A and B are shown apart, each in its own frame.
Chain A
Amino acid sequence: MARIIVVTSGKGGVGKTTTSAAIAMGLAKRGHKTAVIDFDVGLRNLDLIMGCERRVVYDLVNVINNEATLNQALIRDKRCDQLYILPASQTRDKDALTTEGVGKILEELAKDFKYIVCDSPAGIERGATLAMYFADDAFVVTNPEVSSVRDSDRMLGILSSKSRRAERGEDPIREYLLLSRYSPDRVKLGEMLSVDDVQEILSLHLLGVIPESKSVLNASNSGTPVILDEQSDAGQAYQDIVARYLGEDKPHRFIEEEKKGLFSKLLGRK
């Protein structure tokens, strides 16, 4: 049985596409056949982050409109043969997405793939609600700030009432918190909410903390999912997240400030 993961948040720019690319690559690297779908019709970002923008011929909307087959539209990743990308259309409007159309695509993918990752656009419109409608698991990407937390909370409300699982009275979507762009220094200065603050408000299972990191920008500029940058903190954070999602027990990292050297150690500061 395939599992459908929606990467969602409500707010834009929090790291959904970065996360979708990273975890799709992470799951595929571990040998699970994975497809990642860009639901951000009109913006189309995922293929850039995945570094396959020049290989896009057909897209999600073409498949929905029967202008191309699923196999024609899926792009196989050059670095990992277990990973496929279904890009979004840059030119068409969001109304092209239909529940039946998306449902058919997911059903077809589910025959062949182990994981299907849906990169949700921002907002609570068509693309976002469709990306989550069929989900089994939700990765709620949140930044440690009040407005982002509030948007995620709202998204969780929609997830619990407007999904296929909710409508059918099945087990609810499994919801996970991914706290992204986290900066312990700024938390300490009181400029950001802490992990505890966010968990207190959202009461959600924490899958991992992704630190604010330059490596993310470098990775997206070179079209490489950051999880492949094994030296980077963000890359390691995403590896941990994939491991935890698959049931491994990994202690949380990147929550505390880095040690500042001998002086602060001697003074007993954390």
Chain B
Amino acid sequence: MSTSSPSLQKAALEFKSTSLTVPVLLLASIDEKHIELQLQEKIAQAPEFFKHSPLLIDLQKLNGQGLDMDLQSLVKQVRDLGFLPIGIRGGNDRQNRAALDMNLPVHSLHGGNSAATHKPAAKTLAVSSEVEASKQPEQTLENKLITQPVRSGQRVYAKGDLIVTATVSAGAEIMAEGNIHVYGTLRGRALAGVPGNINSRIFCSDLQAELISIAGIYQLSDDLSPETAHKPVQISLDNQTLIIKDI
């Protein structure tokens, strides 16, 4: 871009809205030692995944049980473990103020938006909402349905789940931030849970893939055992290993 004559017309920036998938730390105890131990266990399972990972701290459950967590020491604790906290939700008034003091945004319980931008901290008072809690894992992402074969050289990306009701050719690549379903032969590359979503799965009715991957953990066709090839399978991630099971 030219900088010699900065036009006043030209926008130097733009605000856009986006939604991302971020791990949420849903606390059920205020025992620091307990928390420390269990967090370390989780990290040991997937160190790469958690290193410098953003983290949203959810205090709803604690406050529902009347347990008052000291936010300042919790934030220090998770930072020391390598997480980068990006805000809290479900906190009480004191916790919300503490968060803002640490330059951490206060998020609403519904959706990823900062509570401060529309309904200032009102929702956090609804303490007894058990139903809300079970609805939390949000699935409002954009799913994609493909009914034509995905050909060699083609790439398909879904921000949510990807469903293909045809074959995926060798040399084709399908990616999803969520799960992948292929109701046909999967010959190309399939990458689910692309941004690091370790709970994503791949389902297909005939596995002949060149590469399968969940949350960046991948396997090449050469590593696929003959027992799972050429039949309907589901692939999930367990402890850094891809597990392929018959359906």
Contacts and interface: CB of A to CB of B under 8 A. Distances in A.
Nearest to B155: A157
Interface in B166-209: 166-167, 169-172, 184-185, 187
Given A157-B154, A161-B154, A200-B185, A150 B149 contact: no
B153 A157 contact: yes
B151 A153 contact: yes
B148 A150 contact: no
Contact of A203 (B149, B152, B170, B171): B149
B169 A153 contact: yes
A153 B152 contact: yes
Contacts of B170: 150, 153, 201
B84 to A, nearest CB: 39
Contacts, number: 37
Contact of A160 (B151, B184, B185, B187): B151
Contacts of B148: 160, 172
A160 B154 CA distance: 10
Contacts of B166: 203
Interface in A119-159: 150, 153-154, 156-158
A160 B150 CA distance: 10
Contacts of B154: 157, 160-161
Interface string A193-209: 00000001111000000
Given A158-B153, A161-B154, A153 B185 contact: no
A169 B151 CA distance: 19
Contacts of B153: 154, 157-158
A223 B166 CA distance: 42
Interface size class of B (residues with CB under 8 A): 10 to 19
A201 B152 CA distance: 11
B167 A150 contact: no
Contact of B152 (A154, A161, A172, A200): A154
Contacts of B151: 153-154, 156-157, 160
A3 B166 CA distance: 28
A157 B185 contact: no
A156 B167 CA distance: 13
Nearest to B184: A203
A166 B152 CA distance: 18
Contacts of A150: 152, 170-171
B204 to A, nearest CB: 15
A158 B150 CA distance: 11
B131 to A, nearest CB: 42
Contacts of B171: 150, 153-154
B152 A157 contact: yes
B167 A203 contact: yes
Contacts of B169: 153, 157, 201
Nearest to B154: A157
Nearest to B187: A201
A247 B153 CA distance: 32
Contacts of A203: 149, 166-167, 184
Contacts of A172: 148
A172 B169 CA distance: 19
Nearest to B167: A203
A63 B99 CA distance: 73
Contacts of A202: 149
Contacts of A157: 150-154, 169, 172
Nearest to B169: A153
A156 B185 contact: no
A150 B153 CA distance: 10
B156 to A, nearest CB: 11
Interface of B: 148-154, 166-167, 169-172, 184-185, 187
10 contacts: A150-B170, A153-B151, A154-B153, A157-B154, A158-B153, A161-B154, A200-B185, A201-B167, A201-B170, A201-B187
